[in-house]
Structure 1
Amino acid sequence: MVQTSSGGVVQGDRHDITITVNEDAIATVTTGSATNVFSMECNYGASERSLSVQNGGHLAFVPAPTILHSNARYCETSTLTLERNATAVIGEIVVPGRLARGERFDFDRYLNRLRVHGPNGLLFEDTTDLQPNTESRDPTAAGVLGEFDTYGTLYIVSPNCDAGLSDQIYERITDGPARAGATALPNEAGIVVRALANRTNAVTKTLRTAWDVVRKEMLGVSAPDRGVW
């Protein structure tokens, strides 16, 4: 459980998280509560994550949702390095403000970048860049988030995983509470699941369902019942 002594991220904050999973070890890492990114008058907040999984290890990094308050500017950069036969599940859920207070897409910018490296080099890179006040990156535009509020992604990083796993996940999530889909990652790196909804718990439930399918396939056990999502 990753915890912080502050109530959230404020302007000028720089957080560094380093997680190493040793050979044949299994780790599930989450946060104690949602990450609140507070309103900012200048500068920005940032989090840099360095994740590595050694031979035969498995990491599930599934933090609670990130809530972007009005005028927030937040940058998350994650680097995942996998050795031979290593696997990982990385989850992200983004809430565009304190919705009960009418803060829908009142933040300034949210930038999230994930780079994943395998034994032979870069497997893929995925970037989310949302700027509500910039027309070219408007999250409410058609083809981005549209009418939906909450956005979630689950990366199942398992080079050369069973091609049918994506279909199994899709069958479980397609009739769920969120609009969701699953597709293969580049370079046979695994599967990515994306979910959209107007309620955080709908996205959380959908990604958790996908994670449960993956965990049973990879580890032979269900997703944890408590403490995570």
Structure 2
Amino acid sequence: MIAEPALADAAHRAAPDMGGRPCVDLAFARDAAGRTYLGRQYVSYPVHVGRALHVDGSAPDLCVVYLQSVSGGLFEHERLAGRIEVGQGARAHVATPASTIVHAMQGGSAVQRMRLVAQPGALLEYLPAPLILFPGSHMVSDTEVTLAEGALVVVADSFLPHDPKGGQGCFARIESAMTVRDAQGQLLARECMRIDGAGWLAGGAGANAGLRMHGSLWLLGSPAEGELLQALRALPVPAGELAGASLLPNGAGIVFRALAGDAVGLDRLMHAAWSAARTHHTGSAPALRRR
């Protein structure tokens, strides 16, 4: 975690600038009856936006949207950007129906930047399925969250390595950054992570203890965060897997981490943490069908 604001801002300015309009630009709003709807959408290749749904039995006002890739994954030299905003008092769940493959590369990288904005009293759950990193891939992911007063944002950031040839090939590198700011632009928290595939494959105890599936769940703007922290730390963790939760600085929220030996185990841990967060925030667990 970078605690010094000057260093964090310098790192943020160094991130690649996509330029132009994002390939995904969504804005959710709340109607007079209190139901959230997709008020604005712009989408271009390689993303398709599914129909807005209201299918969560525990939250009938929640608007659910799935983002689909029409290109078959992320490729070398690709530069993608997205923006999602949830208006005052609205509640939205944005996810992907399946994992995204990051294909093999020849020394370049793929870059994806996402901007998430939550207005006062809004709830945004942005829960893409894990990235699948093919041998030689280099992925750069940069997420920035802007939190207004009383807003809640939940973000999943997960990856798993995979060699489609069944060998021991591993990704070249993954770089991930999360930035959290308040509505005035003040930096609340920033974390930068860089993992080289060779070290990850080696499974050193200081890195991943031999568990190759990694997940982070960011629970941002959470009220009564001490209670949620205790609930997350009390979640059952199967033998051979690891999970933990820590408070972020400046009251920004909580980050939950999970390490598992396979994709099923990682999904269970991440789903349990998300369910605990939703229950804490709303009083009821999510009733969306599992992917």
Distance change (3 Å), C-alpha of 1:102 and 1:223 = farther
Taking only aligned residues, the RMSD between alpha carbons, in angstroms, comes to: 2.1
Mapped contact 2:211–2:241 kept (Cα < 8 A): no
Pairwise CA distance, 1:100 = 7.6
Correspondent of 2:159 among 89, 94, 108:
94
Pairwise CA distance, 1:216 = 1.1
Query: How do 1:98-117 and structure 2 match up within 5 A?
Result: 98=163, 101-103=166-168, 106-117=170-181
Query: How do 1:125-204 and structure 2 match up within 5 A?
Result: 125-133=190-198, 140-175=203-238, 178-204=241-267
Larger CA deviation: 192-201 vs 115-124: 115-124
In structure 2, runs of 5+ residues without a counterpart are: 1-65
Could you list the per-position Cα deviations for residues 136-158 of structure 1 after superposition, in whole angstroms to 9, with x for gaps in the alignment? x8873221112111011111112
Please tell me the residue identity of whatever aligns with 1:188: G
**3-state SS, counterpart of residue 3 of structure 1:** strand
Pairwise CA distance, 1:117 = 0.5
**3-state SS, counterpart of residue 233 of structure 2:** helix
Work out the CA distance in 2 between the residues paired with 1:56 and 1:23. Answer: 6
TM-score after normalising by structure 2: 0.72
Mapped contact 2:160–2:212 kept (Cα < 8 A): yes
1:43 aligns with 2:117: no
Identical positions, percent = 26
Pairwise CA distance, 1:98 = 3.4
In structure 1, runs of 5+ residues without a counterpart are: none
**3-state SS, counterpart of residue 114 of structure 2:** strand
Please tell me the residue identity of whatever aligns with 2:82: I
**3-state SS, counterpart of residue 67 of structure 2:** coil
**3-state SS, counterpart of residue 146 of structure 1:** coil
Work out the CA distance in 1 between the residues paired with 2:165 and 2:276. Answer: 32
Aligned partner of 1:222 in structure 2 is: 285
Distance change (3 Å), C-alpha of 1:138 and 1:200 = closer
Pairwise CA distance, 1:159 = 4.8
Aligned length: 225
Could you list the per-position Cα deviations for residues 2-49 of structure 1 after superposition, in whole angstroms to 9, with x for gaps in the alignment? 112100011111111110011100111111211100001142111010
**3-state SS, counterpart of residue 231 of structure 2:** helix
Correspondent of 1:2 among 67, 73, 84:
67
Work out the CA distance in 2 between the residues paired with 1:32 and 1:87. Answer: 23
Please tell me the residue identity of whatever aligns with 2:256: V
Mapped contact 2:147–2:221 kept (Cα < 8 A): no
Work out the CA distance in 2 between the residues paired with 1:24 and 1:91. Answer: 22
Please tell me the residue identity of whatever aligns with 1:161: A
Work out the CA distance in 1 between the residues paired with 2:112 and 2:102. Answer: 11
**3-state SS, counterpart of residue 173 of structure 1:** coil
Mapped contact 2:68–2:97 kept (Cα < 8 A): yes
Work out the CA distance in 2 between the residues paired with 1:215 and 1:56. Answer: 15
Work out the CA distance in 2 between the residues paired with 1:130 and 1:63. Answer: 20
Pairwise CA distance, 1:72 = 0.3
Pairwise CA distance, 1:178 = 3.0
Pairwise CA distance, 1:132 = 2.6
